[in-house]
């Protein structure tokens, strides 16, 4: 083919068809695979938190991101293992959340440099080859965590662990395959831009082409990175004796997959959006367990300070006679967001604690159900379940916040420093509520758009 006419035109036409295919099919798949990847990782991450293998990062929700950044990968000293892994795995979760919910999945946005960062994130932990002999410090640590999770775990937890690991392996393979396709497109698109902007009007030969292209590169393609390996490829394709064969190979590699007649598409499902919301709100279970432990300590501190000697003797006698203990009543105050006024409420703490423990078990049951089991339910069942759990977690958040203020206020000044605050846990709950609500609204918006298209007689998959 003629280097300055026929081949660039054929390449441009092939790339344009390839771009459309990537945008309409592969990039849609890529985002879905990252959703599956993040959901599976969250399942393991929350189990690590629940088992105390890592701690909640107090700065987790303060991170501001405008671009993907690979968390720390270097070795760490054993004494700081828990601290380092808590921060690293929390940062990894933040990066995945940013990628799934805020990143642009378009051909133009996913440049070679951005693909490199995404690859670094996908390979941050080697889910395909989890091994304690891995060269990656993070992979070794996660492998050890998983081996510590399984002994003593109930069958449902073991099933959840295995499902999460299976989903991570599968999603990793699918993501890498799609990123490879986008990378191949971007490499050829980059070389086409050089042909159109630099070499089209130049007379070059194989020995002098690279330095001459470099001279003109900055002025002709401002802001673009200079990739020597791709320039070398271009020169071989356009100025070597093997060029025609190489050009043919490139065009063949970029051809679209054979389009075979397909069966009618199944209706578009938005279930995954609701399931993501359920997984997010279900992650609150571990947080509620942590709060229960802290409040038990606060309650003991408060009750012991209040009791006179006679009251302590009376309690011992009740316990000896197997009588029911007196109810623990706390009078808290909170803002009624609807009426805009402060409201006082008496809380029977034992009843409240029992209710919170039931709620934690119920939320744990959601995450243990797994993606596949939840998607087997009807949309109406899923959205009802999501809305119910959001409301209940919101109610718990309101009461827990009021109790946190109550303990800090009523416990004597000399014991104030012993009070276990729950501000980080409240922030975690609030963030989960916000994210779950975002998923609920996203689902509603998608369904509404689908209904509008139906009313207009337009197919949503056309």
pLDDT 10s digits, 61-83: 666 778 899 999 999 998 899 99
- Which residues are bridge partners to 331 per DSSP? 346
pLDDT 10s digits, 256-311: 986 544 444 545 667 888 888 898 898 888 888 889 888 888 888 877 665 555 55
Hey, what are 17's tokens?
């068809």
Rounded mean pLDDT, 407-425 = 83
Helix 379-410, helix 349-375: angle, nearest 10: 150
Half-sphere exposure of 318 (CA within 13 A, CB side): 11
Is residue 35 within 8 Å of residue 101, measured between CB atoms?
Answer: no
158 band by pLDDT with thresholds 50, 70 and 90: confident
Q: What percent of the chain shows pLDDT beyond 90? A: 48
Confidence at residue 271, expressed as pLDDT on a 0 to 100 scale: 81
Is residue 330 within 8 Å of residue 346, measured between CB atoms?
Answer: yes
Q: Higher-confidence residue: 33 or 365?
A: 33
Q: How far is the CA of 462 from the CAs of 16, 245, 326, 372, 451, in angstroms?
A: 20, 38, 67, 27, 15
Long-range contacts of 202-211 (CB under 8 A, 24+ apart): 204/235, 204/238, 204/239, 205/239, 206/235, 206/236, 206/239, 206/240, 209/235, 209/238, 209/239, 210/235
Average pLDDT score over the chain: 86
Q: Higher-confidence residue: 37 or 445?
A: 37
Confidence at residue 132, expressed as pLDDT on a 0 to 100 scale: 92
Cβ-in-10-Å burial (0-12, 13-18, 19+) of 30 comes to buried
Q: How far is the CA of 410 from the CAs of 80, 299, 305, 348, in angstroms?
A: 36, 11, 11, 17
Q: In whole angstroms, what is the distance from residue 315 CA to residue 308 CA?
A: 11
Q: Higher-confidence residue: 314 or 462?
A: 314
Task: Please state the pTM of the whole predicted model.
Answer: 0.61
Is residue 422 within 8 Å of residue 291, measured between CB atoms?
Answer: yes
DSSP letter string over 41-54? HHHHHHHHHHTTSS
Q: Kindly tell me if the per-residue pLDDT of 341 is higher than 90.
A: no
Q: Kindly tell me if the per-residue pLDDT of 174 is higher than 90.
A: yes
Q: Kindly tell me if the per-residue pLDDT of 407 is higher than 90.
A: no
Rounded mean pLDDT, 152-157 = 71
Give strand ranges (E) for 20-80: none
Which of 44-53, 73-82, 426-435, 453-462 shows the lowest mean pLDDT across its residues? 453-462
408 band by pLDDT with thresholds 50, 70 and 90: confident
Q: Higher-confidence residue: 185 or 102?
A: 185
Strands 329-336 and 341-348: antiparallel
DSSP class of residue 340 equals T
Confidence at residue 311, expressed as pLDDT on a 0 to 100 scale: 57
Which of 49-53, 214-218, 277-281, 323-327 shows the lowest mean pLDDT across its residues? 323-327
Confidence at residue 60, expressed as pLDDT on a 0 to 100 scale: 72
Confidence at residue 185, expressed as pLDDT on a 0 to 100 scale: 97
- Which residues are bridge partners to 341 per DSSP? 336
Q: In whole angstroms, what is the distance from residue 86 CA to residue 72 CA?
A: 12
* Residue carrying structure tokens 């606060």: 298
Mark 273-295 as b/e (b = at least 16 C-beta within 10 Å): bbbbbbbbbbbbbbbbbbbeebb
Confidence at residue 165, expressed as pLDDT on a 0 to 100 scale: 92
462 band by pLDDT with thresholds 50, 70 and 90: very low
Q: In whole angstroms, what is the distance from residue 457 CA to residue 462 CA?
A: 11
pLDDT 10s digits, 384-406: 999 999 999 999 999 999 999 98
Q: What percent of the chain shows pLDDT beyond 70? A: 87
Q: Higher-confidence residue: 454 or 434?
A: 434
Q: Kindly tell me if the per-residue pLDDT of 126 is higher than 60.
A: yes
């Amino acid at each position: 083919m003629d280097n300055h006419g026929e081949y660039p035109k054929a390449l441009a036409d092939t790339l344009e068809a390839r771009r459309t295919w990537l945008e309409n099919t592969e990039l849609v798949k890529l985002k879905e695979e990252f959703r599956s990847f993040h959901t599976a990782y969250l399942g393991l991450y929350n189990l690590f938190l629940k088992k105390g293998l890592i701690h909640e990062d107090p700065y987790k929700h303060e991170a501001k991101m405008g671009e993907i950044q690979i968390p720390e990968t270097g070795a760490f000293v054993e004494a700081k293992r828990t601290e380092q892994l808590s921060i690293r795995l929390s940062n990894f979760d933040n990066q995945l959340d940013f990628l799934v919910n805020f990143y642009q999945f378009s051909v133009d946005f996913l440049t070679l440099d951005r693909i490199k960062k995404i690859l670094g994130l996908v390979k941050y932990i080697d889910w395909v080859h989890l091994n304690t002999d891995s060269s990656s410090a993070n992979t070794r640590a996660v492998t050890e965590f998983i081996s510590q999770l399984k002994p003593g775990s109930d069958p449902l937890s073991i099933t959840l662990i295995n499902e999460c690991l299976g989903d991570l392996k599968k999603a990793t393979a699918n993501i890498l395959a799609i990123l490879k396709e986008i990378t191949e497109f971007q490499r050829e698109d980059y070389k086409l831009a050089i042909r159109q902007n630099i070499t089209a009007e130049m007379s070059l030969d194989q020995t002098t082409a690279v330095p001459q292209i470099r001279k003109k590169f900055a002025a002709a393609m401002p802001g673009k990175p200079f990739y020597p390996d791709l320039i070398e490829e271009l020169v071989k394709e356009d100025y070597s004796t093997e060029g025609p064969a190489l050009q043919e190979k490139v065009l063949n590699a970029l051809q679209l997959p054979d389009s075979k007649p397909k069966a009618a598409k199944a209706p578009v499902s938005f279930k995954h959006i609701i399931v993501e919301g359920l997984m997010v709100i279900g992650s609150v279970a571990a947080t509620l367990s942590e709060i229960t432990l802290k409040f038990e300590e606060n309650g003991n501190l408060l009750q012991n300070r209040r009791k006179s000697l006679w009251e302590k003797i009376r309690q011992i006698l009740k316990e000896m006679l197997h009588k029911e203990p007196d109810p623990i009543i706390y009078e808290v105050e909170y803002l009624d967001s609807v009426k805009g006024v402060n409201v006082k409420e008496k809380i029977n703490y034992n009843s409240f604690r029992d209710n919170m423990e039931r709620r934690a078990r119920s939320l744990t049951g959601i995450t243990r159900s797994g993606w596949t089991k939840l998607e087997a339910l009807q949309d109406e069942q899923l959205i009802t379940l999501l809305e119910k759990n959001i409301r209940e977690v919101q109610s718990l958040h309101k009461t827990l916040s009021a109790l946190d203020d109550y303990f800090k206020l009523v416990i004597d000044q000399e014991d104030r420093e012993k009070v276990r605050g729950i501000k980080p846990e409240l922030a975690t709950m609030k963030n989960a509520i916000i994210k779950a609500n975002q998923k609920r609204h996203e689902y509603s918006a998608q369904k509404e758009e689908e209904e509008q298209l139906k009313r207009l007689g337009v197919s949503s998959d056309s």
